[in-house]
Copies of this chain bind each other. A is one copy, B any other.
Amino acid sequence: MRLTRAGEYAVRCVLYLSAQEEGKIVRRRDISKTMGVPGQFLGKIAQQLSRAGFLEIIQGAKGGIRLTASPMELNLLDVVEAIAGELSLNDCIIRPESCSRNDLCSVHLVWQKARRQLRETLREATFESMLQTDSRMNTDLLVQ
């Protein structure tokens, strides 16, 4: 029951972009190297984030990736769900047809509560707030 590597990579990518000056275009390669994400794989992930509307991909020479969302508003939940789909923890909540015990069983009420809490906690974590609470990363890794 873990975040996939793709999800983790997406978070690293957005974290990097959030640390840049607003609107700056950075090469995929730079993100890849600094954040330890395989280049081509990052390409696929960036496409998903782009479709979700959080960033823009510019082709051609001098091309790269630019964050379009505001780090003040963009949060962990947005980014994770852009990659992994709506979080659910338990099959039956999202896809009731997959478990006939859905309405019968109070177990699922617990999972539903857990899911609500998880999504809320991730939603509260904006990228700006995460950068602020960690100036070390900001300095050492992201703005070099």
Contact = CB atoms under 8 A, between A and B. Distances in A.
Interface stretch (A40-48, A53-61, A63-71, A128-136): A128-136
A129 to B, nearest CB: 8
Contacts of A121: 110, 113-114, 117
Interface in A19-77: 36, 76
A99 B2 CA distance: 14
Contacts of A4: 1
A2 to B, nearest CB: 6
Interface residues of A, number: 41
B87 A1 contact: yes
Nearest to A121: B114
B90 A106 contact: no
Interface of A: 1-4, 8, 11-12, 15, 36, 76, 84, 87-91, 99-101, 104-107, 109-111, 113-114, 117-118, 121-122, 125, 130-131, 133-134, 136-137, 140-141
Given A1-B2, A114-B118, 5 more contacts: A104-B136, A105-B130, A109-B133, A114-B121, A114-B122
